[in-house]
Structure 1
C-alpha cells in the first residue's frame, strides 16, 4: 500500500495552483492524475510538497524500482504536467492515459514546455509500440487514448493502433488497469472530452471522469473535471442525463474545476444556478469539495487567476461536510496533503500529522535555503500549457 494510507484513497497534494492527485487502488496499484512539481520557497517557509520525491519514496516497488500503475494526464497545461520528465526517469510507469490533443497540434516544439515535450515523446513511443505489437505491449509501454480522434483513420499517424484495447470514448467505462481486470476495485467512467470540443480552447478538451475505488459495499466516488468551464460542465450533465447514466455523476469528493475558478458557475458575471444544482444533486454523504490551489484571497479583482473567492462561496453553500483547500490545509509548519480514505468505519477524512519523506524534506529544506540566498523566483520554461 502507498505509505501513509491504510486503504483505497484519494490524495490531493499541495502544489500551488495545479492539479496533482494520487489514487491508491490497492496494495500494489497506484494511479497518478496530473502532476505539478513546483517549489515556491521563501523566507517564511513552504507549504508545497516536492511531489516527485514523495512518490519515489512512497510508491510500491516492483523489481526494486518505484512503480506507478498508471499516469493520467487530463490535459497538457504546464500546471498539470510539470515534473513529468523527472517522474518518468525515476519511476516505472505501467500505463499512461491521455486525450488526443497532445498529438494533434503544436508540432513545433518551440511552443512546448519541456515536460509537455517529454510527455508527447513518451506517448508517441508507447502508441508506436502498441501498433508494432498489434495489441498489448506490456507494462511500461501501455497507453490509452481517451476521446474522439481521427488519428486512427487510414493514412493517419496511428493507423493500426489497437483501438479495441486502448481507445475509450466518452460515455464508456474503463475497468482494466495496466493489463489487469480491476472491475472489483476500480471503475472509471469517462465524461469528456466531447467530439465537438477538438478545436476549442485547450481547457475545454480536458479529460473528465468519475472514479470509484474500493470494494462493493464500501466504495469512494470522486469527480474529476480538469479545467472545464460552465458550458462544457453543463454538457456533461445534460449528456449523462440523456443517456440515463445519472449514477455516473455521483461523488463523495469533487475536485473543483480549474483550481476553483468562477468560470465553472459564472458567465458574463452572472451565476448559473443550474450547474450548482447539478453538483448538489449528484453529491453523496459524506461529501467533500477540494480546491487544488494556493490559499484563497479575501476577495478577487477583475482578471485574477484562480482560486476565486466567489466560486468557493458557491461551493460552500452546497457541500455536505467540508470545503478544503490544499494550500490552506498544508502549512510551512506542517506540510501535508488532503487524504480521503476508505476505512473499516467507512469514508474518512485525514488532514493531520502527515509524515513527509526524508528525501522530500531534504529537497524542501534545500529550496528554502537557496531562496534565502537569492530573492529571484525560480525560472520555468513556459510554453504549451501556460498556466
Structure 2
C-alpha cells in the first residue's frame, strides 16, 4: 500500500488521515470535525465519518482504529464528533462489538496531546464538550503511564511539548520536547515515519505567553513520510492547526538558519487559509493595504519543487471573508509559483457543490494528487460505454 494523506471536506475545520507505506498501513489522524449535519442521512453534508471509516483498518475483534490521533488544538472545529465516533476510556469498557461495523466506535490506540496548547487555549476560550472529553482521556492515559500500566493499545499517550512549572518533568519516556524528532507510533519505532516537533514553543516571559495564547497556539509538526524504507524522505507534510502570525514568526526566528527544517511537499494552510497566519493586519478592514509579516511568510514559504498547499476550508471567494481568505490564497499561490506547485481547497474538490475527500499519494517520485473517486468512476464508465452505430 502506498503512503497517503487524505483531507476530508469538513468546511472550515480540519480532519486529515495519514496512512504509512509500512506493512500495517499505520493510520495517524490529525484532528476531527464530524459535524451533526454530516451524521444526518437527510442532510446534504458529506458523510465524512463514513469516508473515514472506510479508510481505517480493523483489529482482531473487528474494531476500527487509528494508531495515533493528534489534536492540534482544542477548538470545536478540530474535535467535533470525538465523543460520538471514538471510544474514550479503557478498552475493557468497549461495548460496540456486537453492533454493525458502521456503528462501532473508533479505537484510538495512542493519543498525541499537548497540555501546553490546552492551557493556552483555555485562557481565552470556553472548551467544548468534545475538547473536555479529550482532555479527560489524555489525563487518564498520563495517569496510566505514571501507574505503570500505560503501555497497551488504548492506553498510550505521547506528550508533545513541555508543560509549564515542571508538570511534565516526570514523563520523559513519553515526552517530546520542541525541536526534537520522533519516529514512534503507538509505542513502536516506524522506519516509514519521522516527525519534527516545531511547536508549541515555551514562552520567554508573561507578555510572550499572552501573545502565544492569543495567536491560536497549536501543535506544529513536519512529518517525513517514506514511500519505502529506501526513500525515507519522499514527502514532508507540514501541519500546524490554527497557528497564527506570531507563532510562525517565532518558529522562523528559531529556524531561519536551518530553513530546510520547514521545507514541505504538502502544507496544510494554517487556520483554514486565514490571513492572520501571514499578517497582523485585518483583511476585512484594510483589504489590499494589509501587509504580510515577512518572517511568518518565510516560515510558510519553504515549498519544495512540486509542492501542494491545501486549504481545509469552505470554497474561497473573492470577498472580505477570513477564513478562508482570498488574499492568503494568493500569497500561497505566489509561494508555489517558483516551485511549480499547486494550491488546493477541500471545499472545492472536485466541485464546490459536491466535495469529496482530497487524496495525496506518496510515491518514490514524491507527492501527487489522486483523481477524485467520482471522476475516476466517470472515466471508467465512459471508457466502458458502447460506441454508437
TM-score computed with the length of structure 1 as normaliser: 0.78
Distance 1:167 1:278, change over 3 A: closer
Aligned mates of 1:114, 1:330 — CA distance in 2: 33
Query: What do the CA deviations read for 1:127-170 (whole angstroms, capped 9, x no partner)?
Result: 1111100x7421110111112213654xxxx77x4x22211111
Bigger mean CA deviation after superposition, 343-352 or 55-64:
343-352
SS at match of 2:194: strand
Pairing 1:141–2:149 present: no
Aligned mates of 2:184, 2:147 — CA distance in 1: 21
Pairing 1:81–2:101 present: no
Query: What do the CA deviations read for 1:4-45 (whole angstroms, capped 9, x no partner)?
Result: xx4101111100000111100134310000011125579x97
Name 2:137's counterpart in structure 1: 122
Match of 1:212 among 207, 216, 224: 224
Aligned mates of 1:227, 1:179 — CA distance in 2: 28
Query: Does the CA-based 8 Å contact 1:335-1:354 persist in structure 2?
Result: no
Name 1:20's counterpart in structure 2: 15
Structure 1 gap ranges (5+):
1-5, 356-387
Name 1:279's counterpart in structure 2: 300
Name 1:50's counterpart in structure 2: 47
Pairing 1:168–2:176 present: yes
Query: What do the CA deviations read for 1:333-358 (whole angstroms, capped 9, x no partner)?
Result: 64411111123654321142259xxx
Distance 1:115 1:284, change over 3 A: same
Bigger mean CA deviation after superposition, 23-32 or 94-103:
94-103
Name 1:266's counterpart in structure 2: 279
Query: Does the CA-based 8 Å contact 2:248-2:295 persist in structure 1?
Result: no
Query: What do the CA deviations read for 1:228-250 (whole angstroms, capped 9, x no partner)?
Result: 122210211220235x4x32211
Name 2:91's counterpart in structure 1: none
Match of 1:257 among 245, 270, 275: 270
SS at match of 1:306: coil
Query: Does the CA-based 8 Å contact 1:288-1:324 persist in structure 2?
Result: yes
Name 2:382's counterpart in structure 1: none
Which runs of 4 or more aligned residues in structure 1 lie more than 6 Å from their structure 2 counterparts after TM superposition? Answer: 105-108
Match of 1:290 among 284, 299, 310: 310
Distance 1:202 1:32, change over 3 A: farther
Q: How far off is 1:55 after superposition?
A: 2.4
Aligned mates of 2:215, 2:159 — CA distance in 1: 17
Pairing 1:37–2:31 present: no
Name 1:240's counterpart in structure 2: 255
SS at match of 1:65: coil
Match of 1:192 among 173, 190, 199: 199
TM-score computed with the length of structure 2 as normaliser: 0.78
Name 1:225's counterpart in structure 2: 240
Query: Does the CA-based 8 Å contact 1:32-1:68 persist in structure 2?
Result: yes
Q: How far off is 1:325 after superposition?
A: 0.5
Query: Does the CA-based 8 Å contact 1:14-1:293 persist in structure 2?
Result: yes
Bigger mean CA deviation after superposition, 288-297 or 270-279:
270-279
Match of 1:62 among 34, 59, 64: 59
Number of positions where the alignment pairs a residue of Structure 1 with one of Structure 2: 334
Aligned mates of 1:335, 1:205 — CA distance in 2: 29
SS at match of 1:201: helix
Distance 1:169 1:354, change over 3 A: farther
Name 2:95's counterpart in structure 1: none
Aligned mates of 2:85, 2:185 — CA distance in 1: 19
Structure 2 gap ranges (5+):
88-104, 282-289, 376-389
Aligned mates of 1:36, 1:176 — CA distance in 2: 25
SS at match of 2:324: coil
Please tell me the root mean square deviation across aligned C-alpha atoms, in Å. 2.9
Aligned mates of 2:113, 2:209 — CA distance in 1: 14
Aligned mates of 1:315, 1:105 — CA distance in 2: 28
